[in-house]
Amino acid sequence: MRARGIRPVTYLKTFVGGDARFEDPRLSQEAVEEGLVATDRRGRPYRFGSPLGLAGIAMLLDPTRTATIRWWQRRVRDALDAGAEGFMQDFGEQALEAMRFADGSTGAQLHNRYPVLLHRATREAMDAYVADHPDREPWFFVRSGYTGRPGSAAYEPTSWGGDATADWSRASGIGSVIPDLLNRGLGGAYGYTTDIAGYIDAFGSPDEELFVRWAQLAALLPCHRVHGSPFHGTSMPWSYGERALACYRASVELHLRARPLLLDLWDGAVRTGAPICRPLWWHHPDDRRARSEEQQWLLGPDVLVAPVIERGASSRRIYLPTGRWRDPDAGTMHEGPGELVVPAPLERLPYLVRDGAEPFSTA
């Protein structure tokens, strides 16, 4: 895969089990024999039902043990040595109240600190690997996290919004993505990715419209990533016909054109704390209306993004903060503050650019 220019991103999780579909059972045996997992009050490995559906029993790694951290970091290095350029670091929220850890913590006491310890261990392993392999650019993204100083965001490159439902809901579907994105960014988790088309599809699989609108939403996020589904199979760009495939390609092309800006904003976020994707009030603090807009964002100061998040919509209402804003598709200019309704056929992601700015690469 690497010889073909593909950089594989694989999978690691923060617990062990005996299901050979998901891991080498010898790893679980090794972790138990070396005392690397959380225990119960009697000091026995604490066993719980695997979060991976019908995958049997799981045991949570104990990150308060130095030996566990070293064992975990060996797994990270082994994955990178095998050719992976990174991985999804899944789970990390399974510290249960009755668990006991080597430093004396209960699961209740360690629960919020757990992802901080694991993400820090992974970051240390990644940094050490890059020092020995300066030609590599390993990357990982995480599911769990916790705020604080420094919190887990100090160590994680990117987080994703968990297992979104494959629907249009504001609770957990496409409508939940932008508020989540903005809140994480304000909390220091600058890198963000979403499951394009959602993940949980127990009540029906995504259709062409949902897939395209979600891909468009992701086009101007820090990461653009398609994810699989546990019930109806992986939703890929070619799963919905030529029209959807063309729309997906357009979203990828826009993301690649925006990549220099995204990377510049990412560097700035690390230096200054200013998030990559910003609520409108970030640049317009005196605009009371801007404070209530939760389904738009500013990509830096000059790009106003307003994806379609409603089924069947053929237009999009956009709130324009103060300034002159150019519609790059229509070539029209609009003055803010005020509302604007723009056409939004399936092929179009609504966004505007501040007058005079040229934020995206033309290559």
| pTM of the predicted model as reported, rounded to 2 decimal places | 0.95
Where do the H-state alpha helices sit in the chain? Answer: 25-33, 66-81, 107-110, 114-132, 177-186, 208-219, 242-272
**Angle formed by the axes of helices 66-81 and 114-132, nearest 10°:** 50
Residues 6+ apart with CB under 8 A from 164: 172, 173, 174, 176, 177, 194, 195, 198, 199, 200
Q: Residue 225: which residues within 8 A CB-CB, separation 6 or more? A: 160, 193, 194, 195, 196, 218
pLDDT for the residue numbered 363: 61
Cβ contact 307:217 at 8 Å: yes
Report the C-alpha gap between 229 and 227 in whole angstroms: 7
Sign of the C-alpha dihedral computed for residues 307, 308, 310 and 316 taken in this order: positive
How many Å separate Cα 361 from the centre of its chain? 24
Structure-token match 């005079």, residue found: 356
First to last CA, the chain: 26
With contact defined as beta carbons under 8 Å apart, do 29 and 37 qualify? no
3-state secondary structure of 338: strand
Average pLDDT per consecutive 10 residues, the chain (363 residues; last block may be shorter):
91 89 87 97 96 86 98 97 94 96 98 97 98 96 91 94 92 96 95 94 86 98 88 82 97 98 97 97 97 97 98 98 96 96 98 97 75
Q: Is the Cβ–Cβ distance between 280 and 293 less than 8 Å?
A: yes
Nearest 5 degrees, angle CA 155-CA 159-CA 165?
Answer: 160
Which residue has tokens 């919004």?
161
Q: Domain-by-domain residue ranges, the chain?
A: 2-276
Element (H, E) at 303: strand 303-305
Architecture of domain 2-276: Alpha-Beta Barrel (3.20)
Read off the tokens for 12: 């690691």
Question: 250, exposed or middle or buried, with CB in 10 Å at 0-12, 13-18, 19+?
Answer: middle
CA proximity to 199, closest of 167, 224, 239: 167
